[in-house]
Amino acid sequence: MPLLAIETSCDETAAAVLHGQQLLANTIATQEIHQLYGGVVPELASRAHVQRLVPVVQRTLAQAQMTPNDIKAVAVTYGPGLIGSLVVGVSFAKGLALQLGVPLLGVNHLEGHLFSTNIHPEGPAPPFLSLLISGGHTILIHVRAWGQYEILGQTQDDAAGEAFDKVAKILGLAYPGGPAVEKLAATGNAQAIDFPQARLKSAMSTAPPRFDFSFSGLKTAVLYYVRKLAAAELEQQQADIAASFQQALINALVENVALAHAQYPVRAVALAGGVACNRALRQAFVRLGEKRGFQLHFPEPIFCTDNAAMIARAAQFHFSTGKRSALTLAPDPGLVLS
């Protein structure tokens, strides 16, 4: 059935139409205003969603060559995320579902990212490991089956994307920090500076073992290193700092996934989330896959960042199992993956 999905968890206003295996439309409106402040301003984000959501949905339906009456179900992200942004999307979706007389389904944003590698049929089949790396989350997940997830590890402080943003600010780069640091790092020497890599003592001492991450120390090490430099030295070493930071972060991610794969020797590993766009990261995981004998999957760049196509795909699975949400559906900014 034609399914309309809406995503407004942070600063991307997105909508998509999925009909069977065909993604008929996928629209994403990025809120550039946050670049002025070096980060997402929640009030501005929710206000932008109010202004943009109706035009985005209209554009999506037009691209899919459909009218609202052609839609047979509505899905929406209801958490986690910014409460004001979630309220806009959930309220709109509930009203639209009520008006059209079609079923409604609230989707976990994190589960949406898991499905981002399966928007097209060639994605991994469970069981597989998925590393979700974004501005707000760094989570390693054992996908036993769709709808059955085991959290193997997650960040204990800064997420990987958050660390990229903070280091970009330290180096005087633009927001968002991930693309800016990656571009600068491509011209630097990743071995120039030996930044620390956190290895949590509890990783293998619990039953079952945990594979948690920590990037706060790495970010702080970059800050202290930069503080010792004169302006001319910083300009000279800026690319090497970016490259060395990026390599230390990638090493931490690769090492934990390698340890997890030794315990869970699945045939496939997937990367998801905005940081999965990073080319050096992908190359490192391709090498790990060749070494350990697993197939690596990652979404197209447009499906790495927040988008409604992944929400539609997750909803499609749950609709097929008979799951529905009541019109009392409420946003849950602290929603976890279970």
pLDDT of amino acid 198: 82
Do residues 96 and 114 make contact, with C-beta atoms less than 8 angstroms apart?
Answer: no
pLDDT at 32: 83
User: pTM of the full predicted structure?
Assistant: 0.94
DSSP 17: E
**Of 94, 122, 72, the residue nearest 312 (C-alpha):** 72
Q: Which fold has domain 3-114+304-320?
A: Nucleotidyltransferase; domain 5 (3.30.420)
Which CATH code for domain 126-298? 3.30.420.40
Strand partners, 268: 295
Residue 145, strand partner residues:
148
Domain boundaries, given as residue ranges, for the chain: 3-114+304-320, 126-298
Instruction: With CA atoms as reference, report the closest residue to 297 among 113, 117, 112.
Output: 117
User: Nearest CA to 80 among 38, 134, 161?
Assistant: 134
Q: Give the pLDDT confidence score for residue 30 in this predicted structure.
A: 87
Q: Do residues 273 and 137 make contact, with C-beta atoms less than 8 angstroms apart?
A: yes
pLDDT at 202: 54
Q: What is the pLDDT of residue 3?
A: 98
Q: Which helix (H) or strand (E) holds 138?
A: strand 138-145
10-residue mean pLDDT series, the chain (338 residues) = 96 96 95 84 94 98 97 98 98 98 98 95 93 94 97 94 95 93 97 90 66 95 97 97 98 96 97 96 97 96 96 97 97 95
Length of the chain in terms of residues written: 338
pLDDT for residue 200: 75
Residue located via tokens 């994403």? 28
Note whether 3-114+304-320 and 126-298 share their fold: yes
Confidence (pLDDT) at 33 = 86
- CB neighbourhood size of 174 (10 A): 12
Joined tokens for residue 93? 């979706």
- Tell me if 75 sits within 8 A of 105, measured CB to CB: yes
142-to-45, 50, 266, 305, 310 alpha-carbon distances in Å: 32, 36, 9, 21, 18
284-311: burial string, b at 16+ Cβ within 10 Å, e else: bbeebbeeeebebbbbeeebbbbbbbbb
Alpha helices (H) in 228-307, listed in sequence order: 231-263, 279-292, 301-304
